Chain A
Amino acid sequence: MNPQEARLILQCRRARGQDDSLPAMAEARQTIENLPDLKKELEEDAAFDALIGEKLRSIVVPSTLRSSILAGARITPQIPWWRRRLTVFSAAALLAVGVSSLLVKPQLFPSGHEIASSQANTGLTEFREATTKKVNHDGIHFSKASEDFSELKTYLASHSASSPDQVSHALSPLPTHGCEIFQWKGHEVTLVCFETKDAGTVHLFTINASDLPADLSAPLLASANGWETITWKQNGKIMQLIGQTTPERLKQLALPG
């Protein structure tokens, strides 16, 4: 090893000596042992490195980060393999039914009302797909983490136009993990994650009704991507609660009374 190589290796040596046991480092140190100028130069470099390292390690970590990470991990759903497979089978079956109905009744056309209703529900289906996929794959990144729903409600009311103004008596006293504000097709959506004793974590999505035209004269129950969902309209907003529980339990949690 020549002195240039030794310099190159020793400038990679961490200031508190964590690398001293590496054979290359030991050899490099031995190489410069009788070169006082180079030794001094590297000592000065190490002192500078120690200073910079100290500055970087003093970066303050946000106090809520740890709880947000842990909360985020808790709400990561683990979908059983059979349920994933069922979803694929269901999609294939639906596709087959759709194709065969087109072949069997090609002469039938939907009425104007059916077209409008179908378009509205297409939006709703897309929304349901997006919310369940978000929880399954994209992940939840809390804008604010808190176990108190009223705290999240206040936060959302001041940061978003699509905050949930009112939730059921069954939902409001439950502990929360946090809330997130995100964009879906250019529209703002809010999400609040509640923890139930019997149904695990349930997720409440809210979007302004004007941003999602939907035929919702009554609450709509549906399954998507391993989740049960219930969607309803309330005070000019569309709300959707999703959970891995029975539709009946979800209905109890979502709706007043």
Chain B
Amino acid sequence: MDFTTLVDTHYRGLYQFAYSLAHSEADASDLTQETFLRWAQKSGQLRDTTKAKSWLFTTLYRLFLNRRRHVTRFPHDELSDAETKLPPVDSNAVRSLEASEVISALQEIDETFRAPLVLFYLEDHSYQEIAAILDVPEGTVMSRLWRGKALLRDKMKDRSKGRPANNIIPMQSPKRKEVRS
């Protein structure tokens, strides 16, 4: 795959990922350009172009973290955190929201949950690929997706009701749904 084809295939997805993380057009453009620049500089070392997509997203995420000087290490979450039903949300109300409101709701969520969530919603990657990009176990991605979704629903609910979002992170749903097998 030549460079132009590679750019054409991935720059939109990378930009949307970057924008969802950084919430700034300038930063997102910069991160996307920097990612491709790194590819151009190292393309001789990366002959397996089938891994290009994963490499590009991983690099962009690392560049974002480096810029944020994000040094906190988050523990890998246990699967048992995600055994309850997600908080309900009114789909019609969400449908009426602008993309910018979804982005700003995402900004209120810690980037530990935001990164897998955005990769999931952009639909370019399976949860297994997201695990490889973020360098965490698959179970951690599942758990973070669940908790990220719970947080996002909470923020969306606040927005659709027209009141400011709170910063409380719901770790567990108040009502646990009983499921019989």
Contact = CB atoms under 8 A, between A and B. Distances in A.
Contact of A61 (B12, B41, B180): B12
A61 B16 contact: yes
A113 interface: no
Contacts of A103: none
A59 B181 contact: no
A185 interface: no
B99 A14 contact: no
Contacts of A19: 126-127
Interface in B1-42: 3-4, 7-8, 11-12, 15-16, 19-20, 25, 29-30, 32-34, 36-37, 40-41
Nearest to A143: B26
A31 B179 CA distance: 12
B89 A22 contact: no
A38 B178 CA distance: 10
Contacts of A140: 37
B57 interface: no
Given A18-B126, A57-B122, A59-B20, A72 B99 contact: no
B86 to A, nearest CB: 6
Main SS at interface, chain B: helix
Contacts of A73: 3, 7, 36-37, 40
B12 A15 contact: no
Contacts of A51: 91, 94-95
A108 interface: no
Contacts of B118: 56
A59 B82 contact: no
Contact of B36 (A37, A38, A69): A69
A38 B179 contact: yes
A76 B20 contact: no
Interface string B90-128: 010011011100110000000000000010111100111
Most A CB contacts (10 A, CB to CB) among B118, B123, B145, B152 go to: B123
Interface in B131-181: 141-143, 145-146, 149, 152-153, 177, 179-181
Nearest to B4: A70
Interface residues of A, number: 47
B65 interface: no
B77 to A, nearest CB: 11
Contacts of A4: 83, 179
A58 interface: yes
B76 interface: no
Contacts of A2: 181
B30 A35 contact: no
A66 B5 CA distance: 11
A3 B16 CA distance: 34
Interface in A54-71: 55-59, 61-62, 65-66, 68-70
A55 B16 contact: no
Contacts of B149: 11, 45, 49
A58 B99 contact: yes
Contact of A65 (B15, B95, B126, B181): B15
A76 B41 contact: yes
Given A7-B179, A31-B181, 7 more contacts: A18-B123, A35-B180, A53-B122, A55-B99, A61-B15, A72-B36, A76-B37
Interface of A: 2-5, 7-9, 11-12, 14-16, 18-19, 22, 31, 35, 37-38, 41, 44-45, 47-49, 51-53, 55-59, 61-62, 65-66, 68-70, 72-73, 76, 139-142
